[in-house]
Structure 1
Amino acid sequence: MELHVDTVSTELVSIVLILCGILSLTKLDGCLGHVDHHHHVNAGCIDVERNALLQFKHGITMDPSGRLSSWEGIDCCKWRGVSCDNTTRHVIKLNLRNPSPLYYQNNDQDHQLYGEINSSLVVLKHLNYLDLSYNHFTMPPGQNLSFIGSLWNLGYLNLSSGISFEGVNPFDNIRNLSRLRYLDLNYNIASVSTGTISSLHWLPGLTSLEYLDLGGWNLSKVSPYLFQTANNTLPKLQELHLSGCQIDNLPPLVNLTSLMVLDLSDNYLNSTLPYWLFNLENLVHLNLYSNIFHGPLPDLRNNIGGQLSKNMGNLCNLQTLDLSWNHISGEITAFLESLSRCSNSKIESLDLSDNELVGNLPNSLGFIKSLKYLYLFRNFFQGSIPNSIGNLTSLQEVYLFQNNMSDIPKSIGQLSMLTKLDISYNFWEGVITELHLANLSSLKELRMDQNSSDMSLVFNISSDWLPPFKLRVLHMNLCRLGPKFPTWLKNQNGLTSVTLRNAGISGMVPNWFWQLDLQLGFLDFSFNNMSGKVPNSRFRFKPNSLVNLDSNHFGGSLPLFSSNISQLSLRNNQFGGPIPWNIGEVMPFLELLDISNNSFNGSIPLSIGNLNQLEALVISNNHLTGEIPNIWANMSSLEILDLSNNRLSGTIPRSIGSLTRLHYFILSNNSLYGEFPSFMKNSSASLFSLDIGDNKFFGKLPDRVGGSKSTLSLLRMRSNFFTGNISSEFCGFSNLHVLDLSNNGLTGLVPHCIGNLSGMKSGKWMQVDGPARSPRESFKIVGKGRELEYRYMIDYAVNSLDLSNNNLSGEIPMELASLIKLWTLNLSMNHLIGEIPADIGNMEWLESLDLSMNKLVGQIPVSMTYLTFLSHLNLSYNNLSGRIPTSNQLQTLEDPSIYQGNVGLCGKPLQTNCSDDNGQNSTRGSEEEDKDGDVGNEFVNLGFFISMALGFIVGFWGSFGTLSIKKSWRKAYFGFVDRVTLHASHCFQ
């Protein structure tokens, strides 16, 4: 019995174990079956998630760097940018951020992805990290990013600078992402159709948020809601970036005690600096760049509402403070003293540049020992850099340029960590010695360009001094380094940018400099007295390099530098010989070539036509001969072509007409001939200046000189052989400031529409769609009785109209007087008749007026006395009559020759007397002057006599009338007179 029981027990145990095994296998199989059916695991990747990623890839239309080329095969966890959970194999991270977000700044390769974001990503339910930033994505029609709200596990979301979409609130559904800690949507709203965000109601749901960047959104309507929400419902927020959001009001964010970074740059905040900002306990980075903050910097030394210690403590915690590009004014002393009192200051970067700060930099600056970066440029600081600056041993960058400072202490030479020093455009005085530079062993950039032209900053450094630094950048302008070339540059073989401009250096550049093994991008020796030949140097020029040797005494042939040179300027030197025939092959990437004011001869080489990137060609004031070659068809970028003051002959080649971007076309003072070419009349170029004066062009004066009448500011066709009438088409040049058609054979009338030249009514030249560069050459106009020279681009008005020495007839149109900002008017040596316009006095800016050698009659208009700037006048050899007005500016013009040849004129400065025997004015002109000519003297006299009469009436009758009526007053008055008389008689006795 017992055995039976034992046997039964054993069998039962076996049955139970078998059933358990079957159940276990069944459960496992069911699980596996479930997995196979829904999420088939195959080599570590889940099917539905892999397919979702492939659908996303299918929407990508461009992948120039092949970033998604690895998205093949069955294991999506090994694809680039995809990460999976090691246990569950779910996709948890998708990082497709552009690895070169500054791709638009000439990076070697564009890594941007282009295409649509497929909503298939909604399948990735386990995704906790999604970064699609700095690409170029769009949404399919009718879709938005609402699917992201279903990715509940997301903790990191970065869609910045890369998604275009329609709709005002495309992120509404992200309110469900309560686990989200990092949200970067910077500049995504740039393409939103409405431009302004009307709601941020999704924000309160992001209660775990630590980082928020909405930079570039137009939050002008919702910023109060944003700040209220952040202040009350985002207690964990550590970084808030709201740059460029058009915010104009900043309420106190006193509850954001966890905030470490606050960026409110590039907004419209217009107030004094809020003190509460310095109460945020954990704030270490504060950026208020480019707002409208005004008033003084806070003085945190004083007890403000009982917060003295707290304010000071929080200020001491700041690591970076950027208040640049505001309107903060006053002195900086109290604020720097507040910082200097921090026993354990942490501030490393202080930027107060581009404000309105004044006064001296205090000595307390030298006690902010933690400073590494100091930016105080573009203010109004004066005086000396404090001597204590030598204490700032951690200082790496100092920018003090564009202030009014005057003294550099020797202690600045103690800053051994300093890498960049820019103190340009101040008024430095004194002597720089080796002590100023003694221990600057880390210095890489030194910029000391001066404001003062008297070279009051002098370098006195011994010729055998060996600098402790290896500079990359050296810029010195208007600092006296000469007269000899600075020998301390001999060991500076790391230079990439060198400017020794206007440095008082004379003589030859030593050969050792040309033999330095430099990789240069910028070389400027202009405005010195350097001489000798420029040899073939060892310099290795970077792409787009610039070489400027202007205004020296360099000679020899034109130096052919590296093919990487983009700008070569050798003007005002003594270079000579022919322009190298192969210049277009040796320097094919030239954008600017200026070799003007030298002694080059021969013809223009054909290889210049290969310079298809050339924007400015200035080869004027040389001795070039031959014809202008027909080489311009492939130079589509050319904006400036100046061939003036040479000995060129022939006609204008037809290929010039293909220069559609030409703005300055200057051919004056050559021996060019032919009719004005028809292709120039119909050119589509927006000419700014056209100067073909002093040549031998002939034929009818063209009525069109280019495609756009609104851009032409200077038209100079003087001293040619043009004939015909001045067409009314010329009146359509609305921006014209200089019109010179003198010394031709023009006939007919001066058109009445000349008053439509509105540019001559404007005090400043207006450039419409002008070139990036402007020529430094000059143009000449006849004014003040002589030829005057002006630069093409000038800051003040040179409005000139010269039609002299032609065969023009008829009257001077009265509309001419409406050109109120005209500077010089020359109509001399024509056949003009009639009177001088009576309103000529309206031309208030007129300094030079020449109407001589015509047939003008009548009087000199009295209004001419209103021309208070007039310094040159010539009315000689006409038929003018009457008294010469002598009031105001005209009385300073005492040369009688300006009126000679007018037999009817009288009065000063002529010897002819205008008075008859009775002393009365003998002419109608003198009578008119008595009435009107002396600037209203008659009105003044009339007013005087009227005032006297009224005074007599009021005074006499006010007293006499009262005495005659009031008996008591009459008795008192005569009694008073009797007493005064009696008293006076006693005094004289």
Structure 2
Amino acid sequence: MASRNAFFQLLFIFFLCYRIQILEVAGVNSSSASCIKMEREALLKFKEYLIDPFDRLSSWVGKDCCNWAGVACDNHTGNVYELDLGTIYNCSWTQGSSTSPYWYCKLGGTLNPSLLNLTYLKYLDLSENNFLGISIPSFLGSLKKLEYLNLRWSNFSGMVPPHLGNLSNLIYLDLNNEFAYPNYLWVSDLNWLFCLSSMKYLGLRDVNLSKVTTNWLEAVNMLPSLLQLAMSSCELSSLLQTFPFVNFTSLVALDLSYNRFNSPVPQWLFNISTLKALKIRDTYATGPIPKVLSGNLCKLRMLDMSFNSIEGLLPKSIGNLSRLEVIDLSFNMMSGFIPGSMGQLRELFKHGLYGNSNFQGAITETHLQNLTKLLFLSISSVNKSLAFSLRQDWIPPFSLYEIAIRDCQVGPDFPAWLRTQKRIMEIALSNVDIFGNIPNWIWTLSPYMFWLDISHNQLRGKLVDSIRLPFSIAAWIDLGFNNLEGSVPLWLNVTNLSLRNNLFYGPIPSNIGHEMSELQNLDLSRNHLNDSIPPSINNIRDLRFLDLSSNYLSGTIPKQWNGLKNLMTVDLSKNNLSGSILGSLCSLRILYWLKLSGNNLSGELSTFLGHCNVLFELDLRENGFSGTIPQAILADPEYIYLLNLRANKLTGTIPEQICNLENLHILDLAHNNLSGPIPPCLGGLIRLKYLRNNFIPSRPTTKEVIFCEHTELVIKGRKTEYTKIILLVNTIDLSGNSLVGEILDEITNLSALGSLNLSWNQLTGKIPENIGSLQRLEALDLSHNHLSGPLPPSISSMTLLNHLNLSYNNLSGQIPSSHQLQTIVDPSIYEGNPRLCGPPLLNNCSTSTNGNGVSKGKVDEDESSQTLWIYISAALGFVVGFWAVFGTLVVKKSVRHAYFKYLDEISDKTAMQIAVNVARFKRKMGVESIQTQL
């Protein structure tokens, strides 16, 4: 916040100087020069097309337009030279209702080209209005004398007209487009900047420059007079590492934050000697900080490189930046010792090194001794590798507003020097090894204090009850994760109280709703509280967050909730609550998170969930709810992202309306009595179907919200509590039901799915061939079903898979071999499938499997059976043929006589033929014998 303020202070000084310059040239309004008729008519025409709900332009009547609100004229010629309709300077809150919303004061409508008749117009401010996504009109590029154009935060959209490049006199151009979602401005190229050589301020924050590529730097380099450049959140993806000819040598402030450069911070940025403010926050910057930071950056006052991947050591030369007022290197990957030269930065008022994981060594008096102007100090490490080694009698030279020290060694005692900080507003000493009781002086340290976080320590003892803390404003207090005990205190002027994970016992005070009526957030979870939930909670009108989970609360849920109009989160999980839930709980219009898991609640869901149609998260697991899944909670597809009804007594089928929940990414209906098939439309769940690469979870700040999201899920066979990464978890669990039918191919469309559990059902058919399309899947459990057939080869392409269970099905064939499956060596994940073979099973396939997933050993067995049947068939054929002939001879006499007569004839002919052949042989042999003798 301090760095942002410093940047805007420079901007305000520039703006103020420019306004003074304009007034000096034009003079002040005077009745001696009246409004020119043509220009008055042009203004009235312009007003005609505007929407003015707050009647800001009510003074635009009469002939003297020089006295109209927002209009300034030259006191010599009467020409209009300034039109200032910016909301921030012209919206008087003394008019109308005091409850009028800020947006009600904004102008809207369209911009009429009648402005072109204001030929001497130099100054045009339409900032902070609401033009509802219309395009910036190209005619603005024809206002030739224009020097100042401010369209900031006015909800324009579309392409920025290149006609603005015709404004050769332009000095100030602000197109910052923050807060305009879903409308946005974009630029295809910046060549039109080449003609704006007089430009001193260029603001393009939140203007999409993704199509410009590296041309943006070349275009900006053609502005030699440029003093301030604001190009944060512009979708820039490249930052040249070498840029030998830097032409903007007058640059004072440069903001390139919230882009995605994914590259080291180039050296040439540190060579711009005129720089006073350099912001490259959250740009995915890598690499080290240059070792030499002095010399060229001698004028630097603000350096913000936070939320990047900057690594390496903090250079000793940092101490040479003698004018430095703000240094913010939070949330990087810096390591090593913090140089003592930091103590030489006498002008420093913000010291931000929070969130660097590898700082080590000690912070001593040397690091802090000369920081007389220091107001903000934030620092942390990992594994407490950084220690504060300060003398007990040390008196600091500064008077802090805010201190945030986390994950460092500070204890075992509270730092004594902290008692000197009489202007302190915020204290965070979390996980710093402080032991013992909370000292009494901490409660009266400063009347300005409103934030106290001493969580994650070893504090013990009881808290003072029923007092009004001497804080000037309502306080945030986080004492979670300690060993504090006793009853819950009643502190009258506390708005946010976290006593999470301590040893508090007894009932919640019955009068808590009367004594702590200013509460907005209350977290008493993970203690030993008992008895019932006091009905007086309904009197805390501004309560937004209520977490009473993991206690021993009993009885029923209170009947009255209608007084809590702002309640967004209710977490009563893991208690001993019983009975049903009344519909009044769901009558809360902005109830987004409802968690009642792990109780003894019962009844049909449809009786109380009828009005819960704006929920983000519904967790009712491990209760006794019955009936069907009510369609009422599925009526509005825009909201719910987590639906957990695990371990209840629900019946019926899975309603197809569940597929309309476009943000659903956590679905757990396991261990109920659901039946029927898996709806094919589940494959169309948008949040699970498309990888959202542009999704970036919010990052923590030095003042982390003490009431964080936490959800317990069963994934990979074990319960795990998820907190900050819950929005990155994508899972479907339908196990332990009576679902039938096949696993349809549509389920393989869920390419963002991380865990799928369909075990313990009655599913049949094959595993989908395209199961490998689930490239993000880490856990797959299809065990205890009736699945059959071979394992699809695509399963081996699931490179992230690390938890697999296919046991107790009818699967067959060889287990596919792949690098990923070879890392899962537990054979039990395949047991109960006797026809599976191959590693890691001992039942190795003899060779490779055939195309049907059957081993060759099985094929040989089948071939042997076929040979046996051939022999049997031949024998049967012989028997049948023999009896066909022999049976006929026995039964038919005429056939028998003819047959035997035929045999006799054959026999006689055969005998005669043999006798003739023998005689011939003998005669031949006798002749040969005579010849031999001769």
Calculate the TM-score normalised by the size of structure 1.
Answer: 0.66
Give the drift of 1:518.
3.6
Alignment of 1:93-172 (within 5 A): 114-123=55-64, 132-133=69-70, 152=78, 158-161=84-87, 164=108, 166-172=110-116
Alignment of 1:322-401 (within 5 A): 322-325=254-257, 336=270, 339=273, 348-349=276-277, 351=279, 356=285, 359-363=288-292, 365=294, 370-377=299-306, 382-401=311-330
Contact 2:763 2:787 in 1 (8 A): yes
Query: Given the alignment of the two structures, is residue 722 of structure 1 paired with residue 650 of structure 2, yes or no?
Result: yes
Query: Given the alignment of the two structures, is residue 887 of structure 1 paired with residue 817 of structure 2, yes or no?
Result: yes
Structure 2 CA distance for aligned equivalents of residues 113 and 754 of structure 1: 49
CA gap of 1:299–1:90, structure 2 versus 1, over 3 A, is closer
Structure 2 CA distance for aligned equivalents of residues 904 and 222 of structure 1: 67
Match of 1:573 in 2: 502
Structure 1 CA distance for aligned equivalents of residues 321 and 851 of structure 2: 85
Query: Given the alignment of the two structures, is residue 799 of structure 1 paired with residue 731 of structure 2, yes or no?
Result: yes
SS in 2 for 1:745: coil
Match of 1:430 in 2: 361
Match of 2:616 in 1: 688
Contact 2:137 2:161 in 1 (8 A): no
Structure 2 CA distance for aligned equivalents of residues 686 and 156 of structure 1: 48
Structure 1 CA distance for aligned equivalents of residues 742 and 160 of structure 2: 67
Contact 1:389 1:412 in 2 (8 A): yes
Give the drift of 1:438.
0.8
SS in 2 for 1:630: coil
SS in 2 for 1:422: strand
Contact 2:764 2:788 in 1 (8 A): yes
Match of 2:345 in 1: 415
Structure 2 CA distance for aligned equivalents of residues 603 and 618 of structure 1: 14
Alignment of 1:528-543 (within 5 A): 528-535=457-464, 539-541=469-471, 543=473
**Higher relative contact order, chain-length normalized (CA < 8 Å, sep 6+):** 2
- Deviation string 1:372-394 (CA, Å, 9 cap, x unpaired) is 44445456655454445445554
Query: Given the alignment of the two structures, is residue 286 of structure 1 paired with residue 219 of structure 2, yes or no?
Result: no
Residue 55 of structure 2 aligns with an amino acid whose one-letter code is Y
CA gap of 1:544–1:830, structure 2 versus 1, over 3 A, is same
CA gap of 1:513–1:320, structure 2 versus 1, over 3 A, is same
- Deviation string 1:500-556 (CA, Å, 9 cap, x unpaired) is 223233333323223323422322223333333333577444556422222222222
Say how many residue pairs are matched. 763
- Deviation string 1:963-985 (CA, Å, 9 cap, x unpaired) is xxxxxxxxxxxxxxxxxxxxxxx
Alignment of 1:862-877 (within 5 A): 871-876=802-807
Match of 2:578 in 1: 649
Give the drift of 1:196.
2.4
Structure 1 CA distance for aligned equivalents of residues 407 and 641 of structure 2: 34
Structure 2 CA distance for aligned equivalents of residues 589 and 358 of structure 1: 48
CA gap of 1:530–1:223, structure 2 versus 1, over 3 A, is same
Alignment of 1:35-74 (within 5 A): none
- Deviation string 1:114-173 (CA, Å, 9 cap, x unpaired) is 34345544337xx5xx5735xxxxxxxxxxx99999971667654433555644324233
Match of 1:97 in 2: none
- Aligned equivalent of 2:371, options 425, 430, 440: 440
Match of 2:710 in 1: 777
SS in 2 for 1:171: helix
Match of 1:926 in 2: 854
Contact 1:696 1:721 in 2 (8 A): yes
Contact 1:671 1:695 in 2 (8 A): yes
Contact 2:163 2:192 in 1 (8 A): no
CA gap of 1:862–1:745, structure 2 versus 1, over 3 A, is same
Give the drift of 1:599.
1.4
Give the drift of 1:655.
0.3
Residue 563 of structure 1 aligns with an amino acid whose one-letter code is N
SS in 2 for 1:554: strand
CA gap of 1:486–1:641, structure 2 versus 1, over 3 A, is same
Give the drift of 1:569.
2.3
Match of 1:637 in 2: 566
Structure 2 CA distance for aligned equivalents of residues 704 and 219 of structure 1: 37
Deviates more, 1:867-876 or 1:483-492: 867-876
SS in 2 for 1:697: strand
Structure 2 CA distance for aligned equivalents of residues 398 and 410 of structure 1: 15
SS in 2 for 1:674: strand
CA gap of 1:298–1:262, structure 2 versus 1, over 3 A, is farther
Give the drift of 1:842.
5.2
CA gap of 1:529–1:242, structure 2 versus 1, over 3 A, is same
Match of 1:960 in 2: none
Structure 2 CA distance for aligned equivalents of residues 838 and 193 of structure 1: 47
Contact 1:122 1:151 in 2 (8 A): no
CA gap of 1:923–1:575, structure 2 versus 1, over 3 A, is same
Match of 1:230 in 2: 168
Contact 2:85 2:127 in 1 (8 A): no
Structure 2 CA distance for aligned equivalents of residues 901 and 528 of structure 1: 50
SS in 2 for 1:499: strand
- Aligned equivalent of 1:262, options 170, 186, 201: 201
Structure 2 CA distance for aligned equivalents of residues 184 and 820 of structure 1: 50
Contact 1:623 1:646 in 2 (8 A): yes
Contact 1:367 1:391 in 2 (8 A): no
Alignment of 1:283-682 (within 5 A): 285-290=227-232, 294-295=239-240, 315=249, 318=250, 320-325=252-257, 336=270, 339=273, 348-349=276-277, 351=279, 356=285, 359-363=288-292, 365=294, 370-377=299-306, 382-406=311-335, 407-426=337-356, 427-448=358-379, 450=380, 452-535=381-464, 539-541=469-471, 543=473, 545-565=475-495, 567-680=496-609, 682=610
Query: Given the alignment of the two structures, is residue 272 of structure 1 paired with residue 217 of structure 2, yes or no?
Result: yes
Deviates more, 1:820-829 or 1:794-803: 820-829
Contact 1:616 1:773 in 2 (8 A): no
- Deviation string 1:535-585 (CA, Å, 9 cap, x unpaired) is 3577444556422222222222223334351x3222222222212222222
CA gap of 1:418–1:848, structure 2 versus 1, over 3 A, is closer
Contact 1:520 1:539 in 2 (8 A): no
- Deviation string 1:234-275 (CA, Å, 9 cap, x unpaired) is xxx8x534444967335456875xx8x434453658432569
- Aligned equivalent of 1:249, options 191, 200, 208: 191
Contact 1:336 1:365 in 2 (8 A): no
Match of 2:125 in 1: 185
Structure 2 CA distance for aligned equivalents of residues 194 and 594 of structure 1: 45
What CA RMSD, in Å, does the superposition of the two structures yield over aligned residues?
Answer: 4.7
Residue 123 of structure 1 aligns with an amino acid whose one-letter code is D
- Aligned equivalent of 1:698, options 621, 626, 644: 626
Contact 2:193 2:222 in 1 (8 A): no
Calculate the TM-score normalised by the size of structure 2.
Answer: 0.70
- Deviation string 1:573-607 (CA, Å, 9 cap, x unpaired) is 22222122222223333332222111111111112
CA gap of 1:845–1:810, structure 2 versus 1, over 3 A, is same
Structure 1 CA distance for aligned equivalents of residues 287 and 110 of structure 2: 48
